[in-house]
Amino acid sequence: MSKRSRSGSITRLQKLIGAIKDRASLSKAAMFSCTTNRANPNAISIVKSTTHDYSAPPPDKHLSALLSSSSRASRAAAASTVHALMSRLHRTRDAAVALKCLIVVHLVVKRGPFILQDQVSVYPWSGGRNYLNMSGFRDDRTHAKWVLSAFVRWHAGYVEQLLSTSRELGFFVGALSNSTDKDKEEERASSSSVKDLLREARSMTDLVEEICQTPDYLHGDDEAKKLISEVVGLVGSDYLSLVNDLSLRLTELQTRDSLSQFDDSVQLARVLTRLERCKEKLATLFGYEKVSVQTFWSLVDEMKEKLGYVRDDDKRLMRSTESARFGERVVSHGDSVRFSSSRFSSTKIQGL
């Protein structure tokens, strides 16, 4: 038997074993729901959404059933659903099941009811930073599972950072519920201090950098690519949301007459530099030509040029534009950087 035939036989056998395991899990969930009042009503939907089949993403009908039923659930029922989902994630040794569990968690953040989002955001209830704890996950039974394992580790880390950033901002990044709150967010940003705007921009930049850690999947298994594309699509949607959220805060910083302290201008420069380093990888991953994306990167370039910061060989931040203009001018700690206010430049004072 050739190596290719032997590999194909192993793959078919694993698919059969996976299908048997899925049937067993469904039977167990159905039997448990009939014999106890403590059964999770979403147990069957969770199993059907996270099967061993890596050739297709979770079926939308099962995801919709899980999310819609949770919208009417009590806090205890929502907590039970999250516990069941996380238990399946941490007990499985199969990369497809693990990645599908992470997709479900990600979708809860994006379009789930608030009561389910809230339970995901506080998991684990015992506390801790490594919420999903999948950094050591490995499934090397086939090349496809090995590729998917890399995405399990990365996607888990990404979702952890997504939840961390969402907690920092006070809303879930990329959630559909936030799309109608643009005016509210603009008002909130305009009333925020420079330090708060910078803190939020740093946290969102952390998430942008996590996106750039996406594993290379160009040479992966063709069947595995379907599941991977689902993950990349979800993250790409988050990226577009981040573009809007970051643009709002950077624009607000630009309209301020001055940054309050020199340290603040240094922090802003670091954020802009970190973002610029991500630009090429993001373009490779998503290739978006949306006006909002192009406008965002133009804004980053414009603000960097105004600040005039570059990194020298010693990794220290310098004022390149000022040093070029004034020689070896020493910038004092109390200096600040002025922006022209684009928000108020077109405002006319009535009655003059």
Instruction: Please report the pLDDT score of residue 175 as a whole number.
Output: 87
Which residue in the block uniquely carries the two structure tokens 């499934």? 139
> What residue spans of the chain are helical by DSSP H?
3-35, 43-49, 60-70, 75-91, 95-111, 114-121, 143-169, 182-190, 194-211, 222-255, 262-286, 291-307, 320-326
Torsional class of 188: left (φ above 0), alpha (ψ -120 to 50), beta (otherwise)? alpha
Q: What is the C-alpha separation between 95 and 99, in angstroms, rounded?
A: 6
Q: What is the C-alpha separation between 213 and 204, in angstroms, rounded?
A: 15
Instruction: Please report the pLDDT score of residue 274 as a whole number.
Output: 97
Could you say which residues of the chain have pLDDT below 70? 1-41, 125-130, 176-181, 218-221, 257-260, 309-352
Instruction: Please report the pLDDT score of residue 61 as a whole number.
Output: 92
Q: State the fold for domain 14-319.
A: 1.25.40
Instruction: Please report the pLDDT score of residue 72 as a whole number.
Output: 78
Instruction: Please report the pLDDT score of residue 219 as a whole number.
Output: 57
Instruction: Please report the pLDDT score of residue 172 as a whole number.
Output: 92
- Going from N- to C-terminal start, the domains of the chain cover 14-319
* The pTM of the whole model exceeds 0.85: no
Instruction: Please report the pLDDT score of residue 221 as a whole number.
Output: 64
Radius of gyration of the chain (CA): 24
